Chains A and B, each alone.
Chain A
Amino acid sequence: MAELDTSGGGKKGGGKVRSKKASTRVDLTAMVDLAFLLITFFILTTTLQKPKAMDLTMPDKDDNHNQLPVPETRTMTVLLGKNNKVEWYMGLPTKPLTAPTVTGFGKTGIRESLFEKGKEVMARSGKEMIVLIKPSDKSTYSDMVSMMDELNIVGNQQRAIVDISPMEVDLLKRDNIY
């Protein structure tokens, strides 16, 4: 198979007729091929299966922890509603600095707002924007992960996951995403 005929013609005529000795060598090329194929398969399936994770750090829930007052001009609240929709506003829920806006995830969704508002806050106060994430009961786990991911993409470090207040639930209801 993978061997060239190198016998060189052989002697012509004369001599005794000998029975041809069959070679005992087996061609192992195909077997090696198969073995390496299997090795590749096993390496790929084992290393690709290792679980990977996104880190999530929650604020300390200590009761006697000194909580610094947060300037509302620097806070952005993101409410997670149903059907992968989010609603965001700046400032307090009672008197938002910008009207609550419903948007989705992705490049043209919340990331754009995070990016713009983050830059605005940075230019005005010289500090990073604080993002409060408030998942409602109708939001899913993937919404939360996507939201944290958006913040990672934008590079925002000042973030917290906070419980939603009834007023904000009403806001979501009004905008039909609860």
Chain B
Amino acid sequence: MARVKVPRKSTAIDMTAMCDVAFLLLTFFILSAKPKTEDPVHADIPASTTIQALPENDFSSLLVAQGKVFFSVEGAEIRVETLKGMADQYKISFTPEEIKAFSSLENVGVSITYLKQYLNMTPKERSTVAQPGVPVDTTDNNELFWWVKNARKADKLVHNKELRIAIKGDSKEEYPTIAKIIKTLQKQKVNKFGLITSLKTVTK
């Protein structure tokens, strides 16, 4: 008796479609990812057990390290409005090129009088300049105060939302620097803000 021959099917699967999908997703993720911004100074953030996610928009962060303060706000539109507010405040006029340069600037770490010169540099030159940080003091000429104030105004104007402010501090930063910043925020009735921390688990 002849055995019935079962036809052997190929086990190879056509991978073309899967490959297409995989690379499509890959492209999407690469393009949608925000390039990581390099902080002008390294801040080693402290850890805490209770944390909340921060919004991506309507968000401003104050980087504090080595006694310096760097101001940054999300969104090109808001940056432009903030700079306009600052220009009015300090009676400095900025050219359209300078405003454009500012809209892509991640951190402000120079005093307003030096900002014009700083914006006219090429990105490569900027990276070589050590930023002294935004001047903070308790007088009326507190630049950080006006940066935050104008950013809040700008956010209200552009998105009609409250700007969320977070402090990203280095864990070894001495308390007086932080106290100065908290006082600056409280002066404009910003009583609620975030402290950027990393997650740790409770040691029971």
Q: B-contacting residues of A (Cβ < 8 Å)?
A: 2-4, 6, 8, 25, 27-29, 31-32, 35-36, 38-39, 42-43, 45-46, 49-61, 80, 106-107, 135-146, 148-149, 152-153, 161, 163
Contacts and interface: CB of A to CB of B under 8 A. Distances in A.
A80 B15 contact: no
B186 A58 contact: yes
A46 B32 CA distance: 10
A39 B25 contact: yes
A135 B178 CA distance: 10
Interface residues of B, number: 59
Contacts of B166: 51, 53
Interface in B180-204: 182, 186-187, 189, 191-199, 202-204
A144 B199 CA distance: 16
Contact of A35 (B10, B22, B196, B202): B22
A72 B109 CA distance: 44
Given A39-B26, A107-B204, A51 B172 contact: no
B107 interface: no
Interface in B32-88: 33-34, 36, 46-54, 56, 61, 64
B15 A32 contact: yes
Secondary structure at the A interface, as helix, strand, loop or mixed, is mixed
A84 to B, nearest CB: 10
B53 A52 contact: yes
B192 A141 contact: no
Contacts of A27: 12, 15
B142 to A, nearest CB: 15
